[in-house]
Structure 1
Amino acid sequence: MTQKARNTGRPSKAAGEAKSLRIIETASRLFAEQGYAATSVEQVVAACGVGKDTVYRRFPSKLALFAGVVEHARRQTQAHFQATMAAQTGDVLARLRGAARWLLTVNLDPTLIAFQRIALSEALVVGQAVADNPHDPIMDRLLALIEEAQAAGVLGPGDVRFLAAHLLNCIAIGPTVDAMLGKATYASTRAQNAYFEKAWALFLNGARQGL
């Protein structure tokens, strides 16, 4: 086969993956900036500089494209969590604290906040696209840390999933709702740190009951 023939063949796997990533990243930005209803596949095509057929071969509808965006964000978030936890040192309570602080940070990420707004405002349209993944490595790790902390005697006995839900409620839910309403109460690292110290103490006070 001549070099010219090879050059006119199908694109390499790496080139195809790079193109798919460009589509996803462009769509992520547009969905986050404009919302679901105001973003069209045609806008994504124009902004990322690929052919319309190229986009539709990968994502046959706007809903499929948004599902791809959400899945990409989920994988990135999980990878960031794994890297954060791999860098954690100290005893189990220190590692659980590190996981809790990460949860506050990630739940205030502007792009993820935008996607949550879309999921809430367009629930009937995009609900299936953003349905919870039945396997959540982040929650699995959180549950394992709580079990380890109980075994070490630094948290009291109790249902592990209930304690995990208590942790999420203490640390992340309030600031997330605040951000979804368009407020900037916890936009700065200083504000997040101040809130976290109070929320972490509240969690520990409740989770240590029975020791």
Structure 2
Amino acid sequence: MPTLTTTSKGGRPRKEDVEAKSLHIIETASRLFAQQGFAATSVEQVVAACGVGKDTVYRRFPSKLALFEGAVEHARVQTVAHFESTMATQTGDALTQLRAAARWLLTVNLDPTLIAFKRIAFSEALVVGQAVASRTSDPIVDRLLALIGEAQKAGALARGDARFLAMQLINCIAVGPMIDAMLGGTTYASSRAQTAYFDKAWALFIDGARR
């Protein structure tokens, strides 16, 4: 088999190789942060686990906070991509799609890596607060708003503040189970338990949102 070239004609690393190495560093750091927490994870541990030079890591991420910010951003991008791919397969009216989006919200908010990052955000708020600061635009919330607006126009939901309804949907569906998981609970660990909870929470939301 031919040997893959890792440098361009000018002797510089190829862009795809640089990106692959950055991704490897981020994925390794994400795993260590999720397993050990922010305080217990050092850049040196990430370097050792990656099997790369210390300078290679520091050129991309000049501090542990920058490394954590990179891990959070990577998780955000992956989450949005997963949401978009999930919703791309959904059919039916706006309310049916909103239900699918709500079910996805419950599942993703119980993801172990995201739960670990949220624990870090709460326990190390003064240190890592900027890394998890709210963005001015959230494509997931934007999609919820659009679906709620469509359902309102169709008469499936009562007229009102769509953003308020979206926030209530998130609170109703995802926040309680997420907090339970952050505190070490396993109430919603199984798919069956999640489905049972979701059916009740969705019915409660719809009952209020239709009035």
* Category of TM-score, reference length = shorter chain: over 0.9
Residues 40-189 of structure 1 mapped to structure 2, 5 A cutoff: 40-189=42-191
Q: What TM-score, normalized by structure 1, do the two folds share?
A: 0.95
Given that 2:172 and 2:201 are in contact with CA atoms closer than 8 Å, whether structure 1 keeps it comes out as yes
TM-score (ref. length: structure 2): 0.95
Task: Report the counterpart of residue 30 of structure 2 in structure 1.
Answer: 28
Relative to structure 1, the CA distance from residue 72 to residue 15 in structure 2 (aligned partners, 3 Å threshold; closer, same or farther) is same
Judge which range, 22-31 or 132-141, deviates more. 132-141
Aligned-partner residue type, residue 15 of structure 1: D
Whichever residue aligns with residue 112 of structure 2, its letter is P
**2: CA distance between counterparts of 1:169 and 1:11?**
47
Q: Deviation string for 1:73-97 (max 9, x for gaps)?
A: 0000000000000000111111000
1:129 match: secondary structure: helix
Q: Work out whether residues 8 and 14 of structure 2, in 8 Å CA contact, stay in contact via their aligned partners in 1.
A: no
Superposed CA RMSD in Å reads 1.3
Partners of 1:7 and 1:31 lie apart in 2 by 37
Letter in 2 for 1:123: A
Local SS of the residue matching 2:130: coil
Structure 1 unmatched ranges of 5 or more:
none
Q: Residue 29 of structure 2 contacts residue 71 of structure 2 at CA under 8 Å; is this kept in 1?
A: yes
Pair 124,6 (structure 1): closer, same or farther in 2 beyond 3 Å: closer
The number of residue pairs the alignment matches comes to: 206
Whole-Å separation in 1 of the counterparts to 2:166 and 2:20: 37
Find 2:205's aligned residue among 188, 197, 203.
203
Structure 1 residue 8, shift from structure 2 partner:
7.8
Rate the CA distance shift 1:8–1:206 in 2: closer, same or farther, 3 A. same
Query: Quick one: which amino acid aligns to residue 138 of structure 1?
Result: I
Residue 12 of structure 2 aligns with which residue? 10
Runs of 4+ in 1 over 3 A off after TM superposition: 5-8
Partner amino acid for 1:84?
T
